[in-house]
Structure 1
Amino acid sequence: MFLLYADESGTPGGADQEHFVLAGITVFERKSHWLSLELDKIAARFNNQDPNSVELHGAPMLSGRKFWRKFDKEDRLNAIKDALRLIDGKYYRVIASVVKKGAISPQDPVYSTFQQLITRFDHFLAREHTHFKNPQRGLILFDKSSKEAPIQALATEFKIDGHEWGKLRNMADVPVFIDSHATRLIQLADLVAYAIFRKYEKQDNQFFEMIENKFDYFGGVQHGLHVSV
């Protein structure tokens, strides 16, 4: 089974931010443990005695809020970049959708980005089957949020009734929502989504540069990034 660890960045409503991002990393089930261990090493830089108490989240790490206030900015930024470098583009690939809310109004940014995310993941799984003789199901794991109910409903709708481009055929079940504290890979998804958000919202490429060649691709074509701005 392939897992897609996913998170959002930005707010779907309100005028204070122009963009909304939904992004994730594809991970084959047997590799998730090893990627988590590498992320643990990065967290241990900030609390070697209890690295599990350290959550890697982009916004507070960049701004130095709360727990992160006592650490040098350079150390915080290097930790974000080192975590993003772990996504090698071979075993782990990024799938993401970013929208400028005004460009798709009145469509709901959550609907738009989730449809892109889940269908691109479904197509990734179909290619694994067709071109690499690797038939696998997929499961999306989201950070817990207030959007759990609408995303679950959308996933069911897309599977039963279809989406704009057809029906989902490779999902094992509807998305699962878990606390980011329980898994490093949700934290990594947060860093990915934040890197993309910073690029489009703030024209800050310093984190995006770590992942710009890590999006899902096949046959020389990038399939993993959808941009509607």
Structure 2
Amino acid sequence: MAHLVYIDETGSVGKGAKKQKLLTLAAVLVHEDKVQALAERFREVAWDHLKHLPADFELHGNEIWNGTGVWEPFKESPTKLIEVYEQAIAVLDDLEVNVSHASVHKERLHKRYGGTADGNAYLLALQFLLEKIDFGYSGHKILIADEQKEHQLRAVKMVADLQDWGAGVVPGHKLKSVIDSIHFVSSHASPGVQLADLVAYALQRQWNSWDTHPDAKAAIGRITDLIGARTQTWRAAWPAA
């Protein structure tokens, strides 16, 4: 029996990335016999709140929290949007999904290596994440990550090297429980990647203290507390201060 490890990242590219100190890769470990149940639960979220299943439906943390995309009809109802997010993230407990995450502090990385390692931030976070789940959780693991056109080829090579002799971007440990290569997929086709996105987005909101309204702060606290309860691996960002 194996776990499918779904991976998504936040904080490296796109709007607002420069305001985020951390590049974070989040992983959710879904037991193979619960993959279909995860997809069904996410479809239920759509039916419960949208009353239909939109074409190419997927759950995005940013869209739900801010009331954009298919969630725009609820933009003026933050309480409803929080309800949607909490219903979706509840699958961590309901389906016994474990979490791991690894973060690279971009400014400290830049200072430590004079900018020469900036382009390796994603691969460093991926290496640290894989080493965490290899040690932290038992059983075989299959890696499925959100599409990363800039990093995919190098990531596939690095995973193979880690499996063969433990050689990553920095000296590391040989991966013993990760089987096969790392597979990159479009998030809309993978509820597991969508769940990883929900985890990553909530963590970034908490770490960056983006919320000021008491209800929003309380909600993001509940969500990240649930994430924390499902996380059994170490959590400090690298490099250390």
Quote the residue 2:160 is aligned against. 156
Question: Is the aligned partner of 1:209 residue 2:225?
Answer: yes
Q: Flag the structure with higher helix content.
A: 2
Q: How many residues align?
A: 214
- Give distance in 1, aligned partners of 2:182 and 2:69: 31
- Equivalent residues of 1:47, 1:54 under 8 A apart: no
Describe the shift of the 1:114–1:12 C-alpha distance in structure 2 as closer, same or farther (beyond 3 A): farther
Unpaired runs of at least 5, structure 2:
212-216
Question: Is the aligned partner of 1:138 residue 2:141?
Answer: yes
How high is the TM-score relative to the length of structure 2? 0.79
When structure 1 is superposed on structure 2, of 54-63 and 1-10 the one drifting more is 54-63
Match of 2:189 among 169, 179, 182: 182
- Give distance in 2, aligned partners of 1:30 and 1:51: 26
Percent identity over the alignment is 24
- Give distance in 2, aligned partners of 1:214 and 1:193: 13
How high is the TM-score relative to the length of structure 1? 0.83
Quote the residue 1:104 is aligned against. 109
Describe the shift of the 1:203–1:212 C-alpha distance in structure 2 as closer, same or farther (beyond 3 A): farther
- Give distance in 1, aligned partners of 2:55 and 2:24: 27
Quote the residue 1:117 is aligned against. 129
- Give distance in 1, aligned partners of 2:49 and 2:148: 26
Q: Which amino acid aligns with 1:75?
A: K
- Give distance in 2, aligned partners of 1:60 and 1:211: 19
- Give distance in 1, aligned partners of 2:64 and 2:20: 19
- Equivalent residues of 2:26, 2:196 under 8 A apart: yes
When structure 1 is superposed on structure 2, of 115-124 and 9-18 the one drifting more is 9-18
SS in structure 1 at match of 2:6: strand
Describe the shift of the 1:41–1:118 C-alpha distance in structure 2 as closer, same or farther (beyond 3 A): same
Shift of 1:167: 0.8
Question: Is the aligned partner of 1:25 residue 2:28?
Answer: yes
SS in structure 2 at match of 1:91: coil
Q: Which amino acid aligns with 1:210?
A: L
Quote the residue 1:132 is aligned against. none
Counterparts of 1:46-125 in structure 2 under 5 Å?
46-50=49-53, 53-71=56-74, 72-88=77-93, 91-105=96-110, 106=113, 107=117, 108-125=120-137
- Give distance in 2, aligned partners of 1:199 and 1:81: 15
Quote the residue 1:219 is aligned against. none
Unpaired runs of at least 5, structure 1:
129-135, 217-222
The alignment yields a C-alpha RMSD, in angstroms, of: 2.4
SS in structure 1 at match of 2:72: helix
